[in-house]
Amino acid sequence: GESVGLHLPTLSVQEGDNSIINCAYSNSASDYFIWYKQESGKGPQFIIDIRSNMDKRQGQRVTVLLNKTVKHLSLQIAATQPGDSAVYFCAEALLGNTGFQKLVFGTGTRLLVSP
């Protein structure tokens, strides 16, 4: 079956550094990928997405890179701030029986930002 995994369960960085959170996926047919951020006591919030016909997409202070050759996804956060401390999930989209995109989530990486 398909799986989405993360290389590091916890990432600790200093405020102002750049953070890189990695994710491996196993289904080469996945055509859509999303990063979510979950702060303590809250539901996951959408950060950025990327389609399989792209290899890079930039948002505000965040960049997602997609390497389809090795089935690897990464989230880069520039100038990490204490407010970035959270658990980050990657997810891949698979087409279900109804032609409906179902998201499969990874287990998450905790980002800890120290001042």
Partner 1 sequence: DVKVTQSSRYLVKRTGEKVFLECVQDMDHENMFWYRQDPGLGLRLIYFSYDVKMKEKGDIPEGYSVSREKKERFSLILESASTNQTSMYLCASSLRVFSLKSEKLFFGSGTQLSVL
Minimum CB separation of residue 42 from partner 1 in Å reads 6
Give min distance, CB of 43 to partner 1, in A: 3
| Using rule CB under 8 A, residue 105 touches partner 1 | yes
Among 43, 60, 69, 70, binds partner 1 (CB under 8 A): 43
Q: Is 17 in the site for partner 1 (CB under 8 A)?
A: no
DSSP string covering 9-75: SEEEEETTS-EEEEEEE--TT--EEEEEEE-TTS--EEEEEEETT-SEEE-SSEEEEEETTTTEEEE
Residue 100 as a binder of partner 1 (CB under 8 A): the answer is yes
Nearer CB in complex with partner 1: 10/18:
10
Binding range to partner 1, per CB under 8 A, among 11-19, 65-73, 76-84, 106-114: 106-114
Lay out the sheet containing 56-58: strands in order across.
4-5, 19-25, 72-77, 62-67, 56-58
Cα torsion through 24, 104, 18, 111, rounded to 10: -110
Which residue ranges make up the site for partner 1 (CB under 8 A)? 4, 31-32, 34, 36, 41-46, 49, 51, 89, 91, 93, 96-103, 105-108
